[in-house]
Amino acid sequence: MNYRKIINVFLILSLGITLSACSLNLSMKKSQPLGIFVSYDKGSKWVSKTELLNIGETRAFFNSSQITFLKLDPNDSKTIYAGTLEHGLFYSLDKGDSWQRTLISKGVINDVAIDPKDSCTIYALVSNVLYKSTDCARKWKDTYTESGKSLKTIDIDPFNTQMVYIGISDGRLLRSSDGGYQWSVLKSFDSSVNQVLINPKDSKKIYIGLKSNGIYKSDDNGGNWRDITESIKEVEKDVEVMPRGVKSFRAMTLDSSKEDSIIYASQYGLFISDNGGNSWRALKLLSKSNAVDIYGLAINPNNSQEIYYSTLNAFYRSIDGGKEWISVKFPSQNLIYSILIDKDSGSNIFTGLREIKK
């Protein structure tokens, strides 16, 4: 029995004792369900997957939780992490069939990163604090605090896992070379750093998504940076211009089947680059440019022709690389904020929901 299994046997026993005494009240109180929905057939049918692990008779669910992100353990495709606005960090070791909870009452869970070489080493950004666990989420230690600012995004160098990057709401990009204990400013941008992505095939290539200034990329571990969204142009009256809304960042994801391919969601719409941002092509969507906000974005890791994205009131799928789109029916009217595709089976789609702000 490995270390992770031993720890989780302990957690299950502890959870059973706790829940036999009192029920964890995270069940739905609203007319429209939240939490996590899963489809096992590419979106034809959906089922809520929010039941907490328990060995007693008491059952508890987190179907009123608002999800901030969904992430897979890079070492174990059965392990999924789900951050929430108000109920801590949930994680499942069985592809969502049951869930456990940690970092309760700490704040908004903005992001997590799992060490690509050690699943028991986990980093969590909770509001303005970085927490680190080295024992599979049993215990956490706060290793960095940012006064008055939000820690937005985190990623780990897959080849040198002591090298960790954090993006902050004031535009600073931090780097640690000792596993998250000491930090220095690598670069200061003029907009909130909302996403950091490191190319898993070449960790010298780092992408930074800025809230209101597009995507910057470094090809040399952060030594030099360039705005790769500057190359997105369209022709108006025989003149090349940057389309309105291109710089308003929404999300980005890498195509793992290629060396350096990225999909970018902006206020304008979706773009794909197959050469690391040197050139782009716009995807023709069902909605008009600048007409909707894109929230969730995912690509099938086993078939890069399958792309998914969500807007305020809709969920879309393409099976031909974005040439044609279909609208996918969904059982809740709440916002699909995060999309995750199972890397073992591209038919399995996980979605995390948030309330629609009125």
Tens of pLDDT, residue by residue over 99-145, are 999 999 999 999 999 999 999 999 999 999 999 999 999 999 999 99
Contact 138, 121 (CB under 8 A): no
Kindly report the pTM of this predicted structure.
0.91
Q: How confident is the model at residue 4, as a pLDDT?
A: 58
Q: How confident is the model at residue 287, as a pLDDT?
A: 84
**Quick one: CATH architecture of 228-347+354-358?**
7 Propeller (2.130)
For residue 3, pLDDT beyond 90:
no
pLDDT band at 36 (very low <50, low <70, confident <90, very high): very high
For residue 302, pLDDT beyond 70:
yes
Listed range (20-29, 67-76, 261-270) with the worst mean pLDDT: 20-29
For residue 240, pLDDT beyond 80:
no
Q: How confident is the model at residue 243, as a pLDDT?
A: 86
Q: Report the distance separating Cα 11 and Cα 148, nearest Å.
A: 34
Contact 247, 229 (CB under 8 A): yes
Beta bridge partners of residue 236, listed in sequence order: 239
What average pLDDT score do residues 5-10 get? 50
For residue 165, pLDDT beyond 70:
yes
Q: Among the residues of the chain, which ranges form H helices?
A: 3-21
Residue 8 main-chain phi, psi, to 5 deg: -75, -25
What average pLDDT score do residues 59-85 get? 96
70: burial class by Cβ within 10 Å (0-12, 13-18, 19+)? buried
Q: Report the distance separating Cα 134 and Cα 3, nearest Å.
A: 11
Contact 342, 80 (CB under 8 A): no
pLDDT band at 312 (very low <50, low <70, confident <90, very high): confident
Contact 353, 36 (CB under 8 A): yes
Average pLDDT value over all residues in the chain: 91
**Which residues of the chain does CATH 2.130.10.10 include?**
1-188, 228-347+354-358
Q: How confident is the model at residue 2, as a pLDDT?
A: 53
Edge-to-edge order in the sheet of strand 67-73: 67-73, 76-84, 89-92, 100-102
Instruction: Give me the percent of the chain exceeding a pLDDT of 70.
Output: 90
Residue 281 DSSP class: E
Quickly count: other Cβ atoms within 10 Å of residue 211's Cβ: 19
**Quick one: CATH architecture of 1-188?**
7 Propeller (2.130)
For residue 27, pLDDT beyond 90:
no
CA terminus-to-terminus distance, the chain: 50
Residue 71 DSSP class: E
